A = this chain, B = another copy of it.
Amino acid sequence: MRNSQVQIPTSREQCLALDAADPLAPFRTQYTLPANGVYLDGNSLGVLPVRTPEIVRRTVEEEWGQDLITSWNKHGWTELPFVLGDRIAPLIGAGPAEVVVCDSVSVNLFKVLTAALRLRSGRRTVLGERDSFPTDLYIAEGVTGLFEGARSVLLPSLDSADDLDAHLDEGVAAVVLSQVDYRTGRLLDMGAITAKVHAAGALMIWDLCHSAGALPIELTTHQVDFAVGCTYKYLNAGPCAPSFLYAAPRHHAAVEQPLTGWFGHAAPFAFESGYRPAEGIGQFLTSFPPLLALAGLRATLEIWEDVDLAQLRAKSLALTGLFIEQCADLEVVTPRQEKLRGSQVAIRHQDGFPVVQALIERGVIGDFRAPDLMRFGFTPLYVSYTEVWDAAQALREVLASGEWQAERFATRGAVT
């Protein structure tokens, strides 16, 4: 079932040995972790890096508090959306001046999808997956609602690139897909799908929310047109921190995005009355992201400068593989094949909600997605092999003991 040299431990002793030899283990000290727990929800909200409070404090007290407006130059505020975009670029296989940090994933998807429909003006269909993270579907509805005759078509979940064949007709302007499914953890083949979409004359937009910081991504290699992604899951920039937007340089000259705020202008401080988009990636800026939120991103991206993405991927596959094998008697919906797997594992269980609550009481923090999925995220920079072993044993014990049936676990919360 496995198809790489990733070593999956089969005992707690092996886990301890792997942790001792883990080249990524030193990163763990860079994060603030729950005192007596195993945090397996980094695919929802990444934990706080140790260095972040001080960098936020400095931004608040020194940059804002003392230096005030002079910080725009003195502390390089003006350049931050580009500087931080350039630091994210290597994590997603992009080059300098191809990524910018701004707004939310939803707003950035709105920009690139509208731009895509304009670039393919003879075509009016947007393809997506019915089970994608809903905001992508809703934004596709919002965008197509602005173009006469445009529509958003939702397909069943793709098993492979070939599933697109029947739908890639000459009416398709753009395809929007999540590289990693937020529920199942299924990883799509970015190269094969992008090539197929291009062969049909359409543009490819990838949502990287569940893949950026979870595995190596190769946007340039695969000639992806546009991508968006969040920074608060595997990248640990802080709750709802600003998103990033990638646009292939070959589109920079012809593209036209509709959220034409002043920071996307060629000369924002000339205060001209007519809009002239900036050249390059800057034209995707609208306004300026909140500086306090950018401080969280500045902090965490310092850590990522030292991460080897091949090591990250190898450990991620080992952690998810370990959890899957230890839960093999449960209904694991995450693909066993490594090339089809992101960095999370989902298990279907009709009583998933109280089971997750019972696990949380034992200190194992995962989450639940209606109607019946338990999700566990594995963040290689701060989760150890031994923790994953212990979490799997805890899950088995919770199920075997029936402790999840206690009344206190029955109420379904809105988010957690």
Cα(A130)–Cα(B212), bound, Å = 42
- Chain B residues in 8 Å Cβ range of A271: 133-134, 369-370
Q: Across the interface, do A238 and B69 meet the contact criterion of CB distance under 8 Å? A: no
**Among B77, B239, B262, B274, contact of A291 (Cβ-Cβ < 8 Å):** B239
- Chain B residues in 8 Å Cβ range of A260: 138-139, 141-142
Q: Across the interface, do B73 and A416 meet the contact criterion of CB distance under 8 Å? A: yes
Cα(A370)–Cα(B267), bound, Å = 12
Interface 1/0s, chain A 251-273, versus B by CB < 8 A? 00000101111101100111111
**Among B66, B137, B275, B286, contact of A273 (Cβ-Cβ < 8 Å):** B137
How many monomers of this chain does the complex have? Answer: 2
- Chain B residues in 8 Å Cβ range of A143: 258
- Chain B residues in 8 Å Cβ range of A61: 32, 48, 53
**A26 part of interface (Cβ distance < 8 Å):** no
- Chain B residues in 8 Å Cβ range of A135: 261-262, 287
Cα(A209)–Cα(B53), bound, Å = 30
- Chain B residues in 8 Å Cβ range of A47: 65, 68
Which segment of A100-108, A197-205, A302-310, A340-348 sits at the interface?
Answer: A100-108
Min CB–CB distance A1 → chain B (angstroms): 29
19 other A-B residue contacts (CB within 8 Å) besides A104-B287, A106-B287? A45-B68, A45-B69, A48-B61, A48-B64, A56-B60, A68-B365, A69-B416, A73-B414, A77-B239, A110-B258, A134-B271, A138-B264, A138-B265, A142-B259, A145-B258, A148-B148, A242-B290, A271-B370, A290-B296
Interface residues, chain A, with chain B CB atoms under 8 Å away: 32, 34, 39, 41, 44-45, 47-48, 52-53, 56-57, 60-61, 63-66, 68-73, 77-78, 103-107, 110, 114, 130-131, 133-135, 137-139, 141-143, 145-146, 148, 154, 238-242, 256, 258-262, 264-265, 268-275, 286-293, 295-296, 365, 367, 369-370, 413-416
